Amino acid sequence: MNTLTARFLTLNSWQRALVAGALGLFALSITRIVAGADDLTSGNTLIATLATAAPIIAVALGGLFSERSGVANIGLEGMMVLGTWFAAFAGWQWGPWAALAGGAFGGMLGGLMHALATVTFGVDQIVSGVAINFIAPGVARFLSSEIFVGEGANKEGTISSSPNITDAMGRFSVPGLADGLKSIDDKRWFFVSDVAGVLRAFVDQMAWSTLIILLLIPISIYVLWRTPFGLRLRSVGEKPSAAESLGVGVYRLKYISVAISGALAGLGGAWLVVNVRQYGEGQTAGRGFLGLAALIFGNWQPIGVALGALLFSYGISLQQAVGTKPIKALYLFIAAAFLGLCLFMVFGRKSKRGALMLAVVAGGLYAYYLNTDEVASQIVYMTPYIIVLVVITFASSRSRPPAAVGIPWRRGQSG
Amino acid sequence: MTDAALTDDAPERPAIELRGIVKRFPGVVANDGVNLAVRPGTIHAIVGENGAGKSTLMKTLYGAHRPDEGEILLHGEAVTFKSPRDAISRGIGMVFQHFMLADNLTVWENIVLGDEPGSKAFLDRKRARRTLVELGARYGLRVNPDAYVSDLGVGDKQRVEILKVLFRGAQIIILDEPTAVLVPQEVDALFASLRSLTAEGVTVIFISHKLDEVRAVADDITVIRAGRTVGEVQPGDVTARQLAEMMVGRELPRPEPRTDAPSETVELLLGDVCIAGPGELDILDHVSITVRRGEVVGIAGVEGNGQSELLDAIMGLRPLKSGMISVGGNSLDGLSTRDRRDVGVGYIPEDRHKDGVVLPAPLWENVMLGHQGSKPFSVRGWINRIAARAAAKKIIAEYDVRTPGCDVAAIALSGGNQQKLIVGREMTAGPCVLIAAHPTRGVDVGAQSAIWDYIRVARTEGLAVLLISADLEELLALSDTLLVMLRGAIVATLDPKTVTIAELGAYMTGAAETEAA
Amino acid sequence: MIKRISSVLLAPAIAILTSVIVASLALIVSGHSPLAALRAMIEYVATTDSLVTILNRAAPLYVVALGVAIGFKMNLFNIGADGQYRLAALIAAGASSAFSLPRVLHITAVILIAIIVGALWALIPGVLKVTRNVNEVISTIMLNYVATGLSAYLLVNYLRNESLPNVAETKTVPESAQLPSLNGFIENFGFHFPRLTVLNGFLPIAILVGILFYLLIWRTRFGFDLRITGASPAAARSSGVSPKGMIIKTIMISGGLAGLAATGFLLTDFTKYNETFPLGLPFTGIAVALLGRNHPGGIAVAAFAWMGIEQASRGLLPEKIPPEISKILLGTLLISSVISFEVVRRRNLTQTIKQAAGAIPGGRSSSDPPHVGSTSAGAPA
């Protein structure tokens, strides 16, 4: 067991993600057979997962840029809200592609505000983030009252929603591949169909906006690790005094990073708007915070962050796309996973108390699984957030945020 | 400037020259007319005591700030540096006393930062590595470019710092107190590197207050006192003692030999204390220490060999794996930090700003720190502000804390005065054991001798003191018994009256062990 | 003294000026007159009825903001007041009709239930932080969503008023558990309220909590420990403060106050928990805590001003001016306040250092130029 773990740790992050994903999928595959809940891993569920994940990935990558440069950003939610409003405005005027640009612009305004407060004036980063989360919905509402109310083809603009965007964002399917995978997926063979379902999610009916966000993952890796800008950005988040002593403009870099952060959060917001072709108040529904959670889950590494976003989205899309039966199966899955973890802890001579706690939780979930016909919708609503909480609880011990995150930086501190 | 021009008048033209540099900060003149001329290809030492204005001067040279008056001449040409970047581009590099390295980046990333090979859109990692290996070979400074800085030792980190400035083509390197963090053997290695640098034509400016080292390595020495240059000398012309007198402006305080003997009553006892480390090895490995009434036990050792953990263990900030600690015969097992303070453990923490004072809080609140749970500061959970103010005023008067009053925030005080406040606070509480970590680090000479006197007096009155310090002079001046710590264990018990610096260095680095084996 | 007052008022003055300018510009750009807006707002708000409404709403806001502030004071960011308040409101509402007691006892019991529910819900992120080092910002935000689901679940399945089949709301809080109005008490002094204007009985509770807050933070050892933990966690720890204990205690007080704030509406204007219950209050509480600089006096002013502006903006509708301008005004006020507080704090600190250095020859060592930015903004000591 230990040698396997050790070998797993020597893999690079792509390989690790792949192994973890395959193992997870295998376990889910067993669960769906046992519980008779085919939708747990069907292509449709996974397509929905990917779609749900897209805005969360965007906002989480936004968080990555900001926090890697040493600026904690809990204002992501607010920047996302600004993104939705500006996306709706641009989309209503000039179509869905403009909406994406507009969203990024709106989010960037929020990012610049955060940078002004935290970088120039040294305001506590959490405080500024909270303030931005507060201001953004107010600004959006005021702007709506001035610009959206009574506008649009059917006068459908109101104070809490925009006129419709006329055109939808295009979608694409890879010819041949999409259909082939779909037919395997539909067979619902053990594991094979599940793998096909996963692959299908990437080639079938994908919106261009989703693709753009997925491409941002490798782009972020390239920018952060393969360009001088990325090196400087990371150095500012780790040891700004060192960066400054080498002539790196710490303020400038932080401004750019936080602006990028806001733009990415805004892009996430724009994705939501483009998806339903309309802005609505409360549309972000806490995805900015989920992105932040994905950032912590992913230990400030792009791939981990994307995996985190996918994991959380899986919980959400199960609930939204296919009803409560798969959610119930998910409880079985989590119970089994906890039991496994508990056994691992017992044999690995880890904390006995922790193992006992896990066993109790696993038992409770299993009992709930056996005694419930249909999971109450309110419980379903809570599930993804509980997953986040549990995952972060277990992930936080190996968590290593950038060393200088949260610490206000004043020019001339080097030496 | 062409090569021909250089050769024509280079021999006597200084590589760098400062004329009448004045730099003021709010409330203080840090540099008040400093003159300096450094010959090219030499090691030029700048000495002065803490607070004399050396660091300020170096920041001026490095472009970290601009002087209010005076001029800087580089190879005879007047220059102004708007930022460190300007200084770098003119071939001046700075190696800071506190390493400016990002732990979570690799060696090569730290070195090329700000001056990356490749284009804006592509960082050429291969070229970066290759250049570093070449540089390292040329100057004899070898480190693994792909290692993470967090995994390096102190000597390696310093080599990375020097490589950093060489990578930028620096021809003038400023080293700010480079030996402060090194053990004697590493110091020798550093000096060898510096000589090979000057052999390659590099000019080295070396800031220090360790006079023996300065005399050993420098070609010229400039002495600074209270922000002014007081003279330039050749190392062969002066003794360390004469240099010290130039620096201080008066005779050095001599440690007085003690006449009385410590009592036999054991106050602090550590028996086989172990603390688990992150890996297989224990951070503290069967440490046993006995401190008697009226005795000062000093602990020497390179920082990071378990001293901080030892402090934490005694103060109850870190759980023991095994072993026991007792004060006055009563075990501390199961007592919280608060309880330990209450049974009479005084504590001068190693990091004053982090652990010793609350910077934005007023002095009268700082005086309660660590004693807020006991009389006279609080009664049944309520704070007694009047008593706290009275106590603060008493400490300020008795321990000569220079401050406008007790309502001033601690941040407004100088390091020496903050430290005197801490010492006063701990002594006033009437402890039976004092744990003093680096009690005079970063304070001026006046405060240092005052603090030493307070400790001596308290010792004579029966206080048991455990002194942890990186300052060998301090350890030798105060200790009755000297222990050496290495890799979490006590490796030697020495008599401070007879031990030599070379012996100490051998134990501190583990050279003694290898010789014996 | 005058100097001290002016330095306290400088930051709010800058912030108010900035926000008024921004809001005026927004109005001008959208084709409205700022002066007309101001007139309409003042006219609307300057009535006894409006003032009483503001007080009734500001009192619970004040209490929830104090709860947020006590956490901020030690750099503990309890963003979870939302969930704590929500669950406390629901469970206290459900529990209140489950038993009957004499009036004073009934009220006390229901208030205690609300406080305990809020404190226990806040205990979860506290325990996660001290045992697993989980960042409280994330955990409290997630727990807010969990609380939303959980309260809906509890309401529908266990705490619903069974006699109304299709409505998700609790039974009405019994008369004996409702806080009495203050009208009678105040009319003793010769003041007469207009008809239908009721000054709620929660106001004295809020004032009492404010006074206790002040005493707790500035006059007790617990408060001392809390403030030094906020200003310098390491120094606090070396001085014998147990950081884990402080986190647990503080977050429970914070949650308890959020729970208490819920009774400010539940036992007065809103006598049952349903979808109209003012659930956005804790969110506003965070902003008010920041505006009030975590000080009970400042928060009192901020809570009153916040609710005052919201109330006054209702007067804009008849003038065809969008009331949403209040959101711009309050939002700008918030961001410009946190910025100007920080700027003024730094300026004052530099001055203190200068004065101290000037008062004593050679007071500061020259190698040690002042660093002003290194201490936290969230918790000025």
What confidence score (pLDDT) does residue A265 get? 98
Lowest mean pLDDT among B260-274, C146-160, C214-228: B260-274
Give the 3-state secondary structure of residue B94. Answer: strand
Chain C CB within 8 Å of residue B380 CB? no
Q: Return the residue in C366, C371, C374 with the most chain B beta carbons within 10 A, the one to mutate for interface testing.
A: C366
Q: What's the ipTM?
A: 0.86
What is the Cα–Cα distance from A3 to C248, expressed in whole angstroms?
39
Q: Is the pLDDT of residue C27 over 70?
A: yes
Give chain C positions within 8 Å (CB) of B372.
Answer: 221, 224-225, 239-240
Closest residue of chain C to A144, computed from CA coordinates: C324
Question: Which residue in the set A228, A246, A403 is minimally distant from B103, CB to CB?
Answer: A403
The beta-carbon neighbor of A228 closest among B65, B84, B123 is B123
Lowest-confidence region among A68-77, B77-86, B162-171, B327-336: B77-86
Which chain A residues are Cβ-neighbours of C77 within 8 angstroms? 126, 130
Assign 3-state DSSP to chain C and report helix, strand, coil percentages, each to 5. Answer: 70, 0, 30
Which uninterrupted H or E stretch holds C114? helix C103-132
| Mean pLDDT on A380-388 | 84
Output the average pLDDT for chain A. Answer: 86
pLDDT for position C372: 40
Instruction: Give the gyration radius of chain C's Cα atoms.
Output: 23
Checking if the pLDDT of C362 tops 70, the result is no
pLDDT at residue B7 greater than cutoff 60? no
Give the separation between CA B404 and CA B397, rounded to whole angstroms: 12
CA distance A78 to A95: 23
Q: What is the mean pLDDT of chain B?
A: 85
pLDDT at B96: 81
Residue C376 has pLDDT above 70, yes or no: no
Q: What is the pLDDT of residue B9?
A: 47
Which SS3 state, helix, strand or coil, does residue B118 take? Answer: strand
Kindly report, residue by residue over B455-503, the tens digit of the pLDDT.
Answer: 999 998 899 999 998 777 788 888 999 999 988 899 999 888 888 766 7
CB of C3 less than 8 A from some CB of B: no
pLDDT band at C66 (very low <50, low <70, confident <90, very high): very high
What average pLDDT does range B268-293 have in this prediction?
88
pLDDT for A281 equals 93
H or E stretch covering B490: strand B489-494
CA B253 to chain A, closest CA, distance in angstroms equals 30
Rounded to an integer, the average pLDDT of A149-173 is 87
Alpha-carbon gap: C5 to the closest alpha carbon of chain A (Å): 22
Neighbours of chain B (3+ CB pairs under 8 A): A, C
Alpha carbon separation from C223 to B281, B408, C229, C242, C249 (Å, rounded): 41, 20, 10, 13, 11
pLDDT of amino acid A321: 56
Query: Lowest-pLDDT range, A254-258, B358-362, C27-31, C358-362?
Result: C358-362
Written as six digits, the tokens of B495 are 């008599």
Does A337 score more than 90 pLDDT?
no
Pairwise CA distance, residues B497 & B298, whole Å: 13
Tokens of B191: 């000096």
pLDDT value of residue B26: 64
Rounded average pLDDT over A168-187:
85
pLDDT at site A325: 65
What confidence category does residue C21 fall into, taking pLDDT thresholds of 50, 70 and 90? very high
pLDDT of residue A355: 76
CA distance A238 to B110: 11
Q: Is C252 in contact with C119 (CB distance < 8 Å)?
A: yes
Nearest CB to B122: which of A227, A232, A403?
A227
Calpha distance C162→B81 (Å, rounded): 79
Q: What is the pTM of this model?
A: 0.86
pLDDT band at C285 (very low <50, low <70, confident <90, very high): very high
Using the Cβ of A234 and the Cβ atoms of chain B, whether some distance falls under 8 Å is answered with: yes
Three-class SS of chain A: CHHHHHHHHHCCHHHHHHHHHHHHHHHHHHHHHHHCCHHHCCHHHHHHHHHHHHHHHHHHHHHHHHHHCCCCCCCHHHHHHHHHHHHHHHHHHHCHHHHHHHHHHHHHHHHHHHHHHHHHCCCCHHHHHHHHHHHHHHHHHHHHHHHCCCCCCCCCCECCECCCCCCCCCEECCCCHHHHHHHHHHHCCCCHHHHHHHHHHHHCCEEHHHHHHHHHHHHHHHHHHHCHHHHHHHHHHHCHHHHHHCCCCHHHHHHHHHHHHHHHHHHHHHHHHHHHCCCECCCCCCHHHHHHHHHHHCCCCHHHHHHHHHHHHHHHHHHHHHCCHHHHHHHHHHHHHHHHHHHHHHHCCCCHHHHHHHHHHHHHHHHHHHHCCCCCHHHHHHHHHHHHHHHHHHHHHHCCCCCCCCCCCCCCCCC
**Distant-in-sequence, close-in-space partners of C54: CB < 8 Å, separation ≥ 6:** C45, C304, C307, C308, C311
Mean pLDDT (chain C) is 89
Contacts of C236 in chain B (CB under 8 A): 358
pLDDT at position A412: 66
Q: What does the block give as tokens for C96? A: 């209140």
Q: What percent of chain A has pLDDT over 90?
A: 43
Give the one of A228, A242, A244 whose C-beta lies nearest to B120's C-beta. A228
* Cβ-based neighbours of B170, under 8 Å, separated by 6 or more: B88, B91, B92, B93, B202
Q: How confident is the model over C65-72, as a mean pLDDT?
A: 96
B387 touches chain C (CB under 8 A): no
Q: Which of B348, B352, B359, B386 to mutate to test the interface with C (most CBs of C within 10 A)?
A: B359
pLDDT at C295 over 90: yes
In this complex, how many residue pairs, one in chain A and one in chain B, have their CB atoms less than 8 Å apart?
Answer: 88
pLDDT value for A143 = 93
The band of A390, judged by pLDDT with boundaries at 50, 70 and 90, is confident
How confident is residue A349, by pLDDT bands cut at 50, 70 and 90?
low
Query: How many Å lie between the alpha carbon of C97 and the closest alpha carbon of chain A?
Result: 24
For residue C194, is pLDDT > 60? yes
Summarize pLDDT for B309-351 with one digit per residue, the tens: 999 999 999 899 999 999 988 899 889 998 999 899 999 998 8
Give the chain C residue whose CA is nearest to the CA of A116.
C339
Which of C286, C334, C376 has its CB closest to that of A135? C334
Bridge partners of B78, per DSSP, are B73
Q: Which residue of A has its CA nearest to C291?
A: A131
Residues of B in contact with C238 (CB under 8 A): 315, 317, 337, 347, 349, 355-356, 370
Hey, are the CB atoms on C357 and B412 less than 8 Å from each other? Answer: yes
∠ at Cα B132 (B128, B135), nearest 5°?
A: 140
Q: Whose structure tokens read 């609710």?
A: C307
Chain A environment of C152 (Cβ under 8 Å): 378, 381
Does residue C358 have a pLDDT over 70? Answer: no
Give the residue with greater pLDDT, A182 vs B7.
A182
For residue A77, is pLDDT > 90?
A: yes
Q: Is the pLDDT of residue B50 over 70?
A: no
Share of chain C above pLDDT 70, in %: 93
Task: Test B101 with A242 for CB contact under 8 angstroms.
Answer: yes
Contact yes or no for A382 and C135 at CB 8 A: no
